[in-house]
């Protein structure tokens, strides 16, 4: 199966339903019925959220680092990863997440087949004693979360890496 097909299938079900059958079929068409998960599937998949606190004016240094140096060598267990900048609260006043204006906040959300997959590819190399990188205003924060419920929409997720990302 091509990498594009695997991503389309995985993202169609939000990367949260990773039964082996999900990887052996093309993304469902709009008329297809959603795949129902069982308790075993919901218990194994994980989402990692990392809050990056980047010094003002150093955003491009961080983006270059994330895109070219903070890579995932073996993506077997990675469903998808999204590095996102927080939108402007003036434009979207309904946002209520308290963020410090002394730095630019980026959130990295990674969908993993299992917590073990994340640990093998990334987690075992994390050293919380290391100081922040030069472009970080403060140390990043991260959390591993286990999906309890979800909704699947009809709009597909991206099926390839963003330009410039390794």
CATH number for the domain spanning 77: value is 3.30.70.100
* pLDDT confidence tier of residue 79, bands split at 50, 70 and 90: very high
Q: Is residue 121 part of a domain?
A: yes
At 132 the pLDDT is 98
Query: Quick one: average pLDDT of 59-67?
Result: 98
Q: Is residue 16 part of a domain?
A: no
Q: Which pLDDT tens digit goes with each residue over 84-107?
A: 999 988 899 999 988 899 999 999
Q: Is residue 11 part of a domain?
A: no
* Count of structural domains within the chain: 1
Q: Is residue 69 part of a domain?
A: yes
- pTM for the whole thing? 0.73
Q: Is residue 153 part of a domain?
A: no
Q: Is residue 20 part of a domain?
A: no
Q: Above 90 in pLDDT, residue 144?
A: yes
Q: Is residue 139 part of a domain?
A: yes
**Average of per-residue pLDDT values in the chain:** 81
What gap in Å lies between CA 34 and CA 54, rounded to an integer? 39
Q: Above 60 in pLDDT, residue 16?
A: no
Q: Is residue 59 part of a domain?
A: yes
At 116 the pLDDT is 96
Structural domain for 118, as ranges: 41-87+100-145
């Amino acid at each position: 199966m091509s990498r594009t097909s695997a991503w389309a299938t995985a993202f169609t079900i939000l990367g949260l339903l990773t039964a082996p059958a999900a990887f052996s079929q093309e993304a469902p068409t709009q008329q297809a019925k959603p795949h129902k998960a069982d308790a075993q599937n919901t218990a194994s998949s994980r989402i990692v959220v990392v809050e990056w606190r980047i010094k003002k004016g150093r955003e491009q240094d961080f983006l270059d680092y994330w895109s070219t140096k903070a890579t995932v060598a073996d993506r077997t267990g990675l469903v998808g990863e999204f590095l996102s900048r927080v939108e402007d609260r003036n434009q979207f006043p309904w946002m209520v997440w308290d963020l410090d204006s002394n730095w630019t906040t980026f959130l990295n959300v990674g969908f993993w087949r299992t917590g073990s997959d994340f640990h093998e590819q990334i987690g075992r190399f994390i050293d919380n004693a290391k100081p922040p990188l030069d472009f970080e205003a403060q140390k990043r924060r991260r959390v591993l979360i286990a999906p309890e419920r979800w909704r699947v929409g009809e709009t597909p997720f991206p099926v390839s890496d963003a330009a410039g990302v390794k």
